[in-house]
Chain A
Amino acid sequence: MSSLTGTAHLLSTKDLTRDAAIEILDVAEDMADVSTREVKKLPALRGKTVVNLFFEDSTRTRISFEAAAKRLSADVISVSAKGSSVSKGESLKDTSQTLAAIGADAVVIRHGSSGAPRVLAQSGWIDASVVNAGDGTHEHPTQALLDAFTMRKRLHGAASRGKDLDGVSVTIVGDVLHSRVARSNAWLLTTLGASVTFVAPATLLPVGIGSWPVSVDYDLDSAIAAQPDVLMMLRIQSERMHAAFFPTAREYSREWGLDDERLARLPAASLVMHPGPMNRGLEISAGAADSPQSTVLEQVANGVSIRMAVLYLLLSGGAT
C-alpha cells in the first residue's frame, strides 16, 4: 500500500503502512512549528475548500479540523447534519451531493455509522478526498495519529523525526468494545512497533479479540504492575450500565478507574493519556488528569498539527 500521498482518502489506520504513518508524524512536526511563529499560517492549501461534515456532535474534533484547515489557508465550511430517523438513507447521499456541487476538495466526516466514510469514498457521489473523523465504533484515525505523535514527542523530544514507537508498551483501559479510538490505536501503535494491552471487564471486550495483535488483561492493577510506558484511559458512557455491561459506575470506577492511588504506583516516567472528553472521578481522577504525566492538553494541540499534516498530504498534490 502506498503512502498517504498516493491515495485519495484517510479512512482507517489499519490501511497505513509504517512508512506512511511515520511520514504523517514527521510532517506534523513541521506543522507544529507554525504555531510558534508570529504568522500562524502557511499558504499551502490556499484556494482549496475543506468541508467538515459532522453527523454527530463533536465540538473539539470539529474545531481542531477547522483550525488545521485554516492554518493551511484553506476555506472551511462546517456542516452539522444530524440524520433524522425519517430521512435515514437520504442524509448521506443527498448531503454529499450538495457538497460536490459546492466544489469541496476534502470532506472531513464524522458519522454514527461504522463504515459511512468508506461508503462515501466508494460511492462515486463526490470527487473529494474523504477524511474519517470518527465512524461509529469503527475507527478514528487522526486521534490515533495524534496519540502516537504525543507519545513520540514525549519520548524523543526534538529528535522525534523519523522515529517509530519500537518497544514502547501501551496499555489502553476502558470500553474497548464500543471504542473507535481503541481500534485505531491498536492497529497504528502495533504498526509502529509498540506493544498494546487492553484492560477491561470481559463484557467490554469484543468477541474474537484473540485474533487481534494485542494482549488482554482483565485486571488494571496487574497491568500497572507491568509498568507500561503509556496508560491510556478511555471514556466510559453511562448508557452502558443500562445494557448490563457493568453493574454500577461505582464498581467500574473501583475496578478500572485510574485513581490517585493507582497513579502513584505508575512509574513516574509513564504517560497518562485520555482522548477526551473526560469523566473526572469515573475513569480518571482529577489528580491523574492534572498530573505532569498527563498529556491531555498536548494531545489537543498535537491534534491540530496532525490534522494539518493529513490535509496537506491529501490535498496538495495535483498531477499523478
Chain B
Amino acid sequence: MTARIVMQPSDITRALTRISHEILESNRGSSDLVLLGIPTRGVILARRIAAILETIEPDSGVTVGALDVTMYRDDLARNVTRTPAPTEIPAGGVDGKTVVLVDDVLYSGRTIRAALDAINDIGRPRFVRLAALVDRGHRELPIRADFVGKNLPTSTSERINVRLSEIDDTDEVAIA
C-alpha cells in the first residue's frame, strides 16, 4: 500500500518553528522551561525545539530531557514485555517548572496519561503542557495538546509514520 506524504522536511521545520514561538508566547518567555521528550522521536523533536528556542532567545536556560513512560503504561499486562528506554531529567529537576511534554504523534492519549503519572513520581511541576508534531484524533481519554504541528484526521485503520533524519534517513510524515 503506498504511503501518502503529508509533511515534507520544510513543513516539519515550519511547524516546529511555530510551536517554539507559541511556547514562548504562552509561557511569556523562556524562564523555567523544561522540555521532556517521550522516547524515541519525542526526544529528537524536543531537542530540535530547544535549538530553535536558543536561536530566538539565546542563553535562556531552557533544559531538555527524556521521559520514558513504559513502566506507567496501562497495557503492560496485555502485551509482550517492552524494554524501557532511558529517562533523563535535566539538572534543576521539574519542581516548580513549566514542563512541556513533547511527542511525535498524539492519538489515544494513553501515552500522555502515563507521562503525567511518571512526572508525578519525579516531582511537582508548576505547569505541564503538551506539544505534539501530529494530532490524529481518536482520543480515548480527556487529553489535549497545547501546541500542535499539524492536525491530521485519520481513520483508525490508517498508520501515521513519522521519520526524522537523526535516526531515519529523512524528515517526513506519511499516512499508510
Contacts of A317 in B (CB 8 A): 76-77, 79-81
Is B84 among interface residues, defined by CB-CB distance under 8 A? yes
Within 8 A of A (CB), among B63-93: 68, 70-72, 76-87
A53 to B63 alpha-carbon distance, docked (Å): 46
A72 to B79 alpha-carbon distance, docked (Å): 18
Within 8 A of B (CB), among A2-58: 5, 23, 26-27, 29-30, 33, 37-39, 41-44, 47
Interface range on chain A (Cβ under 8 Å from partner): 20 to 34
Assuming the A-B contacts A27-B84, A30-B86, A44-B71, are A319 and B78 also in contact, with contact meaning beta carbons closer than 8 angstroms in the complex? Answer: yes
Contacts of B76 in A (CB 8 A): 44, 316-318
A43 x B117 contact (CB < 8 A): yes
A37 to B72 alpha-carbon distance, docked (Å): 15
A30 x B78 contact (CB < 8 A): no
Chain A residue with Cβ nearest B75: A318
Is A312 among interface residues, defined by CB-CB distance under 8 A? yes
A318 x B77 contact (CB < 8 A): yes
A41 to B80 alpha-carbon distance, docked (Å): 22
A209 to B149 alpha-carbon distance, docked (Å): 64
Chain A residue with Cβ nearest B121: A39
Is B123 among interface residues, defined by CB-CB distance under 8 A? yes
Assuming the A-B contacts A316-B76, A319-B78, are A27 and B83 also in contact, with contact meaning beta carbons closer than 8 angstroms in the complex? Answer: yes
A318 to B80 alpha-carbon distance, docked (Å): 6
Is A153 among interface residues, defined by CB-CB distance under 8 A? no
B71 x A320 contact (CB < 8 A): no
B122 x A39 contact (CB < 8 A): yes
Contacts of B70 in A (CB 8 A): 44
Chain B residue with Cβ nearest A29: B86
Partner of B77, one of A23, A27, A316: A316
Partner of A319, one of B80, B87, B117, B123: B80
Contacts of A38 in B (CB 8 A): 121-123
B83 x A23 contact (CB < 8 A): yes
Total inter-chain residue pairs, C-beta < 8 Å: 56
Is A154 among interface residues, defined by CB-CB distance under 8 A? no
Is A280 among interface residues, defined by CB-CB distance under 8 A? no
Contacts of A320 in B (CB 8 A): 80
A41 x B83 contact (CB < 8 A): no
A290 to B79 alpha-carbon distance, docked (Å): 45
A37 x B80 contact (CB < 8 A): no
Is A178 among interface residues, defined by CB-CB distance under 8 A? no
Partner of B71, one of A23, A43, A161: A43
Is A224 among interface residues, defined by CB-CB distance under 8 A? no
A38 to B123 alpha-carbon distance, docked (Å): 7
Assuming the A-B contacts A30-B84, A44-B76, A317-B80, are A37 and B122 also in contact, with contact meaning beta carbons closer than 8 angstroms in the complex? Answer: yes
Chain B residue with Cβ nearest A314: B81
Chain A residue with Cβ nearest B78: A318
Is A313 among interface residues, defined by CB-CB distance under 8 A? yes
A41 x B81 contact (CB < 8 A): no
In the assembled complex, the CB of B33 is this many whole angstroms from the nearest CB of chain A, namely 21
Assuming the A-B contacts A41-B121, A42-B71, A42-B72, are A30 and B80 also in contact, with contact meaning beta carbons closer than 8 angstroms in the complex? Answer: no
A33 x B122 contact (CB < 8 A): no
Chain A residue with Cβ nearest B93: A38
In the assembled complex, the CB of A184 is this many whole angstroms from the nearest CB of chain B, namely 23
Contacts of A161 in B (CB 8 A): 86
Contacts of B86 in A (CB 8 A): 29-30, 33, 161
Q: Interface residues, chain A, CB within 8 Å of chain B?
A: 5, 23, 26-27, 29-30, 33, 37-39, 41-44, 47, 72, 161, 312-313, 316-320
**4 further interface pairs, Cβ-Cβ under 8 Å (given A5-B81, A316-B81):** A30-B85, A38-B121, A42-B121, A47-B77
25 sample A-B contacts, Cβ–Cβ < 8 Å, listed by A number: A5-B80, A5-B81, A26-B83, A30-B68, A30-B85, A30-B87, A37-B122, A38-B122, A38-B123, A39-B120, A41-B121, A42-B71, A42-B72, A42-B121, A43-B71, A43-B72, A44-B71, A72-B71, A312-B71, A316-B77, A317-B79, A317-B81, A319-B78, A319-B79, A320-B80
